[in-house]
């Protein structure tokens, strides 16, 4: 049986016992993970329904990929940048294909209790009132008004005398 799963933005065709390297998945070596995004599954030429189908895998190791060099250059501008990057990878061993996806079932006791509580709280809950204005806002308004009063318009500097006026002043 095979399945096509999507993880880390890529698609992988897997079968039971396969080893695949995918983008980092949280967990330690030896932990079990479930890949729930199954796109297609089948056995030979027959395709199966993928609704509620998962692929179980075991983390073999966490590591890094090969270094990728990133080199940027703009000719005739003396601009060169060299950078490297190593992608975080996880190696998985596919243990089984099939099991239904586990969904959290709602608790019946909690649901019944919630229904009873809502009826009681609806009767007992008083109507909500609009919050009152804080006293600090009035103080802030007064402070703003005094600051405006302190800021008087700036006085203009006296105009500079021209050369003609200077000679007239000297004559007088």
Residue 47 located in a structural domain: yes
C-alpha closest to that of 69 among 88, 86, 83: 83
51: domain range?
Answer: 2-69+82-100
SS3 at position 101: coil
Distance CA 82, CA 59 (A): 34
Between CA 21 and CA 62 the distance in angstroms is 10
What pLDDT is recorded for position 155?
A: 65
Mean pLDDT of 11-15: 94
How many domains is the chain partitioned into structurally?
Answer: 1
Start-to-end CA distance of the chain, whole Å, equals 114
Higher pLDDT, 83 or 165: 83
Select, from the ranges 30-44, 101-115, 146-160, the one with the highest average predicted confidence (pLDDT): 30-44
Q: Is residue 154 part of a domain?
A: no
Q: Which residue has the higher pLDDT, 135 or 63?
A: 63
In a domain, 39, yes or no: yes
> Does any domain span residue 142?
no
CA distance 123 to 128: 13
pLDDT in tens, 114-128: 555 555 555 555 566
């Amino acid at each position: 049986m095979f399945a096509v799963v999507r993880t880390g933005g890529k698609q992988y065709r897997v079968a039971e016992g396969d080893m695949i390297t995918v983008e980092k998945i949280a967990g330690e070596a030896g932990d079990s993970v479930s890949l729930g995004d199954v796109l297609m599954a089948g056995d030979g030429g027959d395709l199966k329904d993928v609704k509620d189908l998962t692929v179980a895998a075991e983390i073999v190791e966490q590591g890094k990929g090969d270094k990728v060099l990133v080199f940027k250059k703009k000719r005739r501008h003396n601009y060169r940048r060299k950078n490297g990057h190593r992608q975080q990878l996880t190696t998985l061993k596919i243990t089984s294909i099939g099991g239904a996806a586990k969904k959290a079932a709602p608790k019946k006791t909690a649901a019944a209790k919630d229904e009873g509580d809502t009826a009681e709280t609806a009767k007992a809950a008083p109507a909500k009132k609009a919050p009152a204005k804080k006293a600090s806002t009035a103080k802030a308004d007064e402070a703003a008004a005094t600051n405006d009063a302190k800021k008087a318009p700036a006085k203009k500097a006296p105009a500079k005398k021209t050369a003609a006026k200077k000679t007239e002043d000297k004559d007088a």
